[in-house]
Structure formats: C-alpha cells, structure tokens
Structure 1
Amino acid sequence: MEGVFDYWEFLAGIGLFLWGMSQLEQSLRELAGNSFRDMLHRFTDRSWKGILVGTVITAILQSSSLVTLMVLAFLGGGLISLRNSLGVVLGANLGTTFTAWVVATFGFKISVSDFAFPFLAIGVMTYLFMNSRPFLKNIGVFLLGFGLLFLGLDYMKLAIEDFAATVDLSAYNHYGLWLYLIAGIFITAMIQSSSALIVIVLSALNAQLIGISQAMAMVIGANIGTTFTLVLGAIGGTADKKRLALANFGFNFLTGSICFFLIDQLIAVSVFLFEISDPLMELVFLNSLINGLMILGFFPFLTALESWLKRRFRSDVPGGSTRYVKSVPLDLPAVAMVALEKEMDGMLKDTLKLVWKIIHKHKSPKKDASVWRKITFQPKNLLLDYQQLKNREVEVFQFVLHLQEKNLTAGEVSRLSELTQTLRLLVLGAKEFKDIVHNLKEMEDASEPFVAEILQSLQGEVKDFLTVFEDYVAMRETDESVVQTVRARLKSNYSSLLQRLYSQLKTKKADVSISTMANVIEQVFSGLAQVWEGIASIRKSKMDSVK
C-alpha cells in the first residue's frame, strides 16, 4: 500500500547488510587475520602509531569490535601499553567511517542491485565449488559479503523512499534535535552496528525524509551508542576490559556532546570552507570530522588518561603469579600464544636468576659479620623464589589446558606442545639447584681447602654457562651447531670435574662425604642441561612461529 512503511523489506535490508558485514569480517579475518595481528603487535609502540594502525585495520576489516578484541588480548598479555591501546581505539573509531564513504560514493549513485548481483553470483559459486581450497573459498565469502552489503542497502533505500513519498516528519521538529540524538543512540545500541545506522540515516537523507541537521544528530548518537557493545562486554570482565570500555565511552560521549551543540557550525564548515554541496558526502565528511576532532582532542592527554585509568578497577585485576597470560582472553588463540611465549621468556629469566642466586648467594654470614646481617640472613628466601616459580608453572599449565579447548591450527598445537615441554624443563632445572642448597652450604662450611676449590670451580662453571645461555637467547638466529656444542661441553665439563674430585680424594680427606660432593656436581650439570634444553626449545618455538 502506497505510503505505508514496508517494515519487512526494511528489516530484511538491515539483516542482509549486517550479514554482509559479518561475512566480510570473517573472510578478511581468515585471509589476513595473522597479518593484522602482527601489524597491531609490531607497530603500536607509540600512541600515534596505534592511531594509524587502528584506523587502517578497522577501515579494512570494518569491525571495531574485532580490533578492540585484539587490543584487549595484547593489553591483557602485556604486549601493548594501555596508553597505546587507547590510541588504537581512537583510530578504530575513525576507521569505522570508511563504510559510510563507500556507501555514499557508490550506493546512491548507481543501480545498487545491478552492482550487487555480480558479486553475489561469483561469490556463491566460488564458495560452493572451491570449498577444498581455503584461500579461494574465503575470496568467495568476501565477494558474497560485499554483494549482501549492497543488496541490503538497496532494500533499505527502497523501503525508506516509498515511505518518504507520503510522510512528513516536520511535526516532530518541535522536539528538537534531541529526539534524533536519542534515536541514534537507542537504535545503534539495539542493532550493535554504527555502520548500519549510518547507512539507514544516509538512506533517509537521500529520500529527503530528514535534513542534514537531523542526520548529524543521529550520527552523533550512533557514535555514542556503538560504545555500549564494549560496555556490556566489560561487565564482569577484567580490569583492562573495563578501563578500555570506560575510555571508549568517554571519548565518544564527550566528543559527541560537544559536537551536538555545534552542529550548525560544523555544517557551515563543510559548506563554506570545504564547499561540499552533496548532502550525503557532507554527512560522511562530518562523521569523519567528528572522529578526527576526537583524536586531536584526546591525543595530548593519553598519558594522563592512562595514569587515571590505572587507578580504576584495581579490584578486578586478576590475581596470580603469572605476568602475561593471566589477563589474556582466549578468544584469539594466536594472540594468546604470543602472550604465552612472552610468559616463557619471563620464566626463563627468572630461572637463570634463581640458579645464579642459589649457586652464589647460599653462603651463610661470616663469623665477623654484623649482628644485623646474621639476624636478617634467611636462606629460605631461595626456596620462596623457587616456590613462586612453581606457582607460575601451575597457572601456566591451567592456561594451556583452557587454550587447548580452542580451535587451534596444527602449527599452534605443535607450538603449544613445545612451550609446555619448555616449561617443564625450566622448572626441573631449577629444582635440581633448589635440592642442593643445603649441600652447598655444607661445602661452604667445610674446613678442607680442596672442598672450597671444588665449590669455586662449580661456581665458575655455572657463571660461564649462564653467560653462554644469555648470549644464545640474545641471538637473532638459531644455530643447531651451537646447541650441540653446548650439550657436548656440559657432558665433558661434568666428567672432568667429577674426575678431578675423585683424584683429589685419593690423597686427601674431607669433612664432606664424597657422595655429597658428587651429587652436587651431578645435579648442577643436570640442572644446567635441563635449562639449556628449555632455552633451545624456546628458540625453536619462536623461529617456527615466525615461519
């Protein structure tokens, strides 16, 4: 019936548009998801880089939610600072305006259905008949999503144009622009897509159902309403998620509130300064302008904002001994793997520190030491350090068990197995040293000089090998020959020192039993060997992940 709003056609248009956006996101995630994650990880060491990367990735993926999820994963894993993640969020808000530019440029200038059908036809055929070839299959999904996006736009545009022919909204003008602002917030919060709402507004503006001022008010509402997705997701979430959601809401709410009261001035800028006469292009320009002003307004204060946010939601910071994996969401296994690798790097450094402390700082205070030194000396601190390492091992294993439940690739499963083995090797190596703390003290207190010589030789061996270990960790390339050389050297030096002990005991007596000293030598070299195998495993896993 003429003049009656065909809401089924309109809702079908929204559904097709959102489904098309979803297919585009899914295909791009499969085609280049790892590349985008690597870009986000590598190029966000500065806030301004975060803004650029957030803009580019969101403009391509057209999903600020996915970008925010990646940011949360990196933030939770300590792979990106809160300040730089705020930069990515600012950039993501600007990147979401790209869809509006594409729609305004092509969607209302040509026959949308004629434009969409070739993409739909080729996309469906490619998806169906190239199912065994993942790359071509995802290309088909991309083309299908692109076609659905514009077909949905066509349905929305036609439904609104038919309705606009006989409907006059001037009766609502006395409510002011507040009505359109609230409508923009409410509708966007309901459909959880600011891009879809902006397309609806563009269709209404094209049909002259609303004016540019009303359209601007709804777009500002859309920018505020889209933050509710992250806000709702942050309820019951970690401190990082709540901080990022609060910042994102603050960015859009404050900027939107200021721009709402300056709508007439912003429109005047677009008309007189930039001489934009097309209302559709004017609207998408103003949408980008608002998000650009938001970046310029908040960028100088990101450091101060980071400090303020870190004081919020402290009670929601996850407890535990781990540093990187305890706050990482498992929704993106590839990012979780990066955090796990960084956790293992931390475990390695702490293991080497513990080995050094046990072999050099086990000594009891000398007889002429101060009373305070004797009172405060606590060898149990070494055992506490080892227990902390054990606690982290338990937490990492629990993280690994949860990660194994996700849909991992064959490469990720292999890397996870290597990292798990690395964890066991490092803790076993630390345990070998922990178990000889009392024996080291016994050797230190021995009166026979050659026992002290054996102990000093052991300390020298550990110092030399730890230097070799650290140098190898710092190397950019793995070298299997180095791995084999160190293995052989460990075996050779172990045999040499053990032989030296036996030869000394043929002519000398010691107040420390031969079995105790032999056991200390064996466990020191066994511990070093375990740690070395852990280092080699970490290096291999890193190189495999790069490949």
Structure 2
Amino acid sequence: MQDLFIVWVEAFSGLGLFLFGMLYLEAQIKISAGRAFKRIVQNATATTFKSLLTGLGATALFQSSSVVTLMTLSLVGAQMMGLQSALGVIFGSNIGTTVTTWIVALIGFKLDIKVLSYLMIGLGGLGSVLSSESGRWKNYFNMMVGFGLIFLGLEGMKDSFNIFSKSFDLSNYLSVSPYWFAVIGLVITAIIQSSSASIAIIQSALFTQMVSFEAAAAFVVGANIGTTVTAVLGAMGGIPDKKRTAIAHLVFNISTALVVLLTLQWMIIPFETYLFGIDDVVKIALFHTLFNLVGVVLWYPFIGSLANWVGKFFTKEVIQVTHFIHNVPLAVPELALEALQKEIIHLSDKIEEFALLSINIPPPKALEKQYGVDRLLELYNQNFDLSYEKLYEKIRLIEGEIYRYNSMLSSKDNLEAHQLQLKELSRKNIYLSTAAKSIKDMLADINNFYEATSPEEQTFYKNLRYQILKTVLAFHNAKEGDHEAIEELESTYNKIAASYKNSMKLIEDMAKNTHIKPEITAMAINDMHLVKSFSKSLRNTLNITNSKD
C-alpha cells in the first residue's frame, strides 16, 4: 500500500515538474526572443511544407514527438509561431516519431532521457548562476533548465508508472478482439507519456509472440491517440492558440486512427502476405511509419481549413473600450463628430481616474467636492493593490480607437469646418495621451516614495501627490464649465513650472543624505519633469476647447 502511495506521489511530482518546465520555458523564450532567434523560427516555419520538415527533423533529433509538441506549444504561447505553422510541425513530428520505433526494431536501443535532463538542468543552472544578469546567455541557460525540467517531468511520470507497464500481462488478452489493443495502447501511452516507450512494449510482446501482428498494429494506433495527452497538458493555462493547437492535434490523431482502424484488416494483408520472413518487430515499425504517413497525406491539403476551424474555439466576446464611436457609423459626419467629442471626454475621465488612483485617492471621493485637497491627501494614503498596467493599456486602446476613427472620418468628410474640428480633436487626443503617459512613467517612482522612510523623500512624495491632485481637480471642474477652475488650472500649471527652484532645494537635501540611494535623487528629478508634463498636457487640452469660445 505504501509503495503504491509513493508511486502516485512520484507521478504527481513528475506532472508538476512537467507543467512548471513548460511554463518556465515559455517565459524564457519570450525574454530571449531576439531578432535572430525569431528569424530562425520564422524561416523554418515560413511555409506549411517547411513546418512539416521542421517537425520531422526536430522529432528525429530529440527522439520524442512529445518534446517537439511541447516546444511548438511554447513557441505558439510566446506568439513566435502561427497556428497553421504549428500544425505543420506537429504533422511532421508524427512522422519523425517513427524513428525511435525503427531504432528499437533494428538496434534494440531505448533512449533514457533522465541523464539528458540532469545534464541540461545542471549546465543550465550553473550557466545561469555564473552569467551576467543582463546578458542574453542567462536567458539561454534558463531555457536549458526549462527543457531539462520538461524531460525530467516526463521521465518521472514514466518511472513512477513503470510498475503498471511491467505488470501488464498481455497474454491474458490473446483471445480478445485486436481493437481492444487500441484502447490498451491509448491508456498506457497516456499514463507513461511516451508513445515511443509504449510501442517498445508492444514490440517486445510481438517479438515473443505474445500478441498477433494485427493486435500490435491496433496498439500502435491507440498509442498515437494517447500521445495527444501531452499536448493537452501542455496547453493548459496557455493562450487560445495553444489550446487550438492541442485540439487540432487531437482531431488529427483521432481521425487518422479511425480511418486506419476501420481499414486495419485490409491494411495488414500486405505485411502478412508479401513481407513474409521479415521480423515482425521490423514490420510493426514499417506499419507505424505507414500509419503516420497516411494521416499526413490525408490531412496535409486541409491544414488551412483545420486551422480556420479550430480558430473558432476559445474566442471571447470582444469588449469595446470605447463608449460612443463604435456605435456611430462614419456615414453621418455630424453624428460621428458628436460621438468623437464625447469619446474624448470619456478618455479624459479615464485619465483623471488613472491619475487619482496612482496617488491612492479614490476617484469618487475626490470628485464629489466634499473635501479639499489637503484633507483628501490626509484621509486617503493607503496603497491600492491594482493592476495599473491594465488600466493604462485600456487607456491606450481608447486613444488608438479615437485616432483611427478620427483619421477615417477625416478621409471621408471634406467639409472645412469639420476638418478643423477633427484637427482640434486629434490634438486633444495627443495631449491626453501625453498626460496618461506621464502618470504611467511615474508609477514605479510613486510606489518607491510611498515606502520611503526619510523625511526628505516623504516631503517630496507629499508634494508630488498634491500637484497631481490639484491639477486633476482643476481640470475636472473646468471641463464642467467652472470658469474659476480654468484660471485655477492655469495657475496650478504656472506654479508647478515655477516650483523647480523650491524642488531643487529639496532634491539637494536628498542628495546630501547618505541614507538615501543616489537613484532616488534621479527619480525625483525625473518626476518633476513628468508632473509638469502632466499638468501642461491637461492645460493644453483645455485651452483647445476654450479657444473655440
């Protein structure tokens, strides 16, 4: 009972290593995806036929279709390989995987990837530790570790379930229909995560005449279906294209298996009739190759159609980031202009919220006019746990959609008055984009100053928050038609522009404090420019509006 428990623990650990290695490798590919590496991948998979040859060659080299499939999924996940190219590689890997079967049949060689995994993890780990943090080689060594973890995870699962394959008495099933052996091949391959290993088992059984050739052929077909489990596991938690690739792999292998199983009794006739005298183990290797060639020949003309079909899966409903322009066609310029003006206001609202959240002020509380600036800064100073990157990404999408809509409307509507309005709206979009970028560039610094302990840094942080909050409130009130707020925004900008002298005195104090890191001083200087840029951009946006009045 205890031994069985250990087997399952080892299997679970192997699965964990496998999945972690997959995700780690994908992350390292993204980091080290330089132009040269991208070019190699793109050239090797530029056409479907090249992709097929790449899959065949890589599988013959690595002696594992599972590893090549995982590498393909990693490249798809890193968005360095398209869906159709990935299918070509997987089709080729199905042919390449027969090389191991031929090696077993002709030489009796069985690859042990445990030593290879240890070697890759060892070399990769040492290389990563000894290499420079900023150098490319560190990423390359980390990729080696990722490959090693995948190999080790696969080997761990095979070793832990070795007891099942060893104790599996095939002789008890001699009287059973050969088609049951397809199910047996599927299950064993799914468990030990290697079609090559499971086919080696049936080759051994065939060599000792424990099973018939027909049963062994059915087993091989089932093993090819079982190997798709690797792709399904590798696609877990990945981007949609990874999951689509796994589905296509599943459809390809199952459909091919069904065709071969339905015609199995006729397919084996040439092997039993014309190849009499040749070792059955060699004949099963030949059958394995023929079976995979049949699949590729059947599906190769339809790779594009298969890619289009699986492309319909895992699609999410498109969420519109804009509120107005996506609902108004360009054919009615007056309505389109009105929608564009409203979208600019929507964008400015989002930037106001972004700026307030960056300094830990809840937007509703700041804009309800219940408290003054000093009171708001005093009441709200708890750091928000937010994904500012996603907030900024949404703002950028709105900016891009506004620019696209403006450009398309400008090309359709030649009325001079409308062209002037479109130019003004385009300028507003640019100024608002600059304001958002200024806040985005200050985010990391603001967080550092929030955690600061020195009085100089805390004072600078307070001044920074004050200037941003003051600017946002004045801009918001001015948008609503408050003429005093218009003057206040102009005054706020002028004060920020003129505050360099006072700020420089504070920065000099920071520089003299030996407990403050030198880079903090550089941050403060940079943030002075950014907050000025933020205030100036909002002021310029407002000036465009007022210049029309």
> What interval of TM-score do these two structures reach, taking the shorter chain for normalisation?
0.3 to 0.5
Q: TM-score, normalised by structure 2?
A: 0.46
Q: TM-score, normalised by structure 1?
A: 0.46
